Amino acid sequence: MMPFLIALQFLTIFPIQLKAMPSKQQNGQSLLFYPVIGLLIGGILALTAFVLQSLPLILLSSMVLVLWIWLTGGLHLDGLADTADAWVGGFGDKERTLKIMKDPTCGPIGVLSLVIMCLLKWSAIYVLLQQQSYFALILFPVLGRLAPLFLFSTTEYVREKGLGSSIAKFIPRTWALIIFVLCLCASLYFGWGGVISLIVFIMTLAYLRFKFIQRIGGVTGDTIGASIEISELSSLMAFVIGLHYWAV
């Protein structure tokens, strides 16, 4: 139960109070529950969209996006902004890139990345709701939270201290692989939309892993957060673009 509560506390704004300080092993095991948290977030989004479907689409799309960000506390958007700043300001240098990621301030490239991310995600949500695919909203938070399973299991964590370090060291890799594959298979429930999202999601993860290794030799907490946001967006965009062409 403790690993699930750790994941719920870390990935959401729900007021979870842990009775004891988690061990490094429990931090590693908590990663296995990330897709479950994604399912919870997606379920809340889908239910909200379904219940409020009579509202004007432009308003409902905005409410769903704000709810999506609020449920996560903007945690992964922070990682995206830090990663974007570091990638541009690092000029290809590993140490400079890592140093910029630790800077708590957000530069213009970080702000721009957030604007682009939110704009594209809002537009995709609008198209999704326009097609009345309310319960497809369950899929994308789950896929996004598979990204940490893949990256922590296959990629070196470059910082020696912190929560990410203990997760990378103690993650049950066999179970992580099983859960990863099962969740990918479950996405086929959404038909060809799920297939297209699955393909784009895998391609996105492979590309991000390649770029992370190329620049800094592995991953950090910020790049993991960025990968969640980018994976969510890419799979969502793939789904709604597919819906558009089917409708035509």
Over residues 114-152, the pLDDT tens digits come to 999 999 999 999 999 999 999 999 999 999 999 999 999
Residue 202 maps to a domain:
yes
Does 7 fall in a domain? no
Q: Is residue 137 part of a domain?
A: yes
DSSP-assigned letters across all residues of the chain: -HHHHHHHHHHS-S----SSPPPHHHHHHHGGGHHHHHHHHHHHHHHHHHHTTTS-HHHHHHHHHHHHHHHHTTHHHHHHHHHHHHHHHTTT-HHHHHHHHH--S--HHHHHHHHHHHHHHHHHHHHHHHTT-GGGGGHHHHHHTHHHHHHHHHS-B--SSSHHHHHHHH--HHHHHHHHHHHHHHGGGGHHHHHHHHHHHHHHHHHHHHHHHHHHSSB-HHHHHHHHHHHHHHHHHHHHHHHHHHH-
Residue 246 has pLDDT above 60, yes or no: yes
Question: What pLDDT sits at residue 17?
Answer: 87
Q: What was the pLDDT predicted at 104?
A: 81
Assess whether pLDDT exceeds 80 at residue 166.
Answer: no
What predicted TM-score, i.e. pTM, was given to this entire model?
0.95
Identify the sign of the CA torsion 49, 144, 75, 41.
Answer: positive
Domain range enclosing 176: 34-247
In a domain, 59, yes or no: yes
In a domain, 12, yes or no: no
Q: What is the pLDDT of residue 162?
A: 64
Over residues 45-57, the mean pLDDT reads 97
The Cα 17–Cα 9 span in angstroms is: 8
Does a structural domain hold residue 58? yes
Percent of the chain with pLDDT over 70: 98
Q: With 60 as the cut, is the pLDDT of residue 247 above it?
A: no
How crowded is residue 185: how many other Cβ atoms within 10 Å of its Cβ? 11
pLDDT digits (tens, 9 = 90+) for 16-42: 888 888 888 888 899 999 999 999 999
Give percent of the chain above pLDDT 90: 77
Q: Is residue 23 one of the residues assigned to a domain? A: no
pLDDT tens-place string over residues 84-109: 999 998 888 899 999 999 888 888 99
Q: Name the domain count of the chain.
A: 1
Q: Which of 204, 149, 209 is nearest to 182 (CA)?
A: 149
Mean pLDDT of all residues in 214-239: 95
**What's the mean pLDDT when you consider all of the chain?**
92
Residue 18 maps to a domain: no
Average pLDDT over residues 161-170: 77
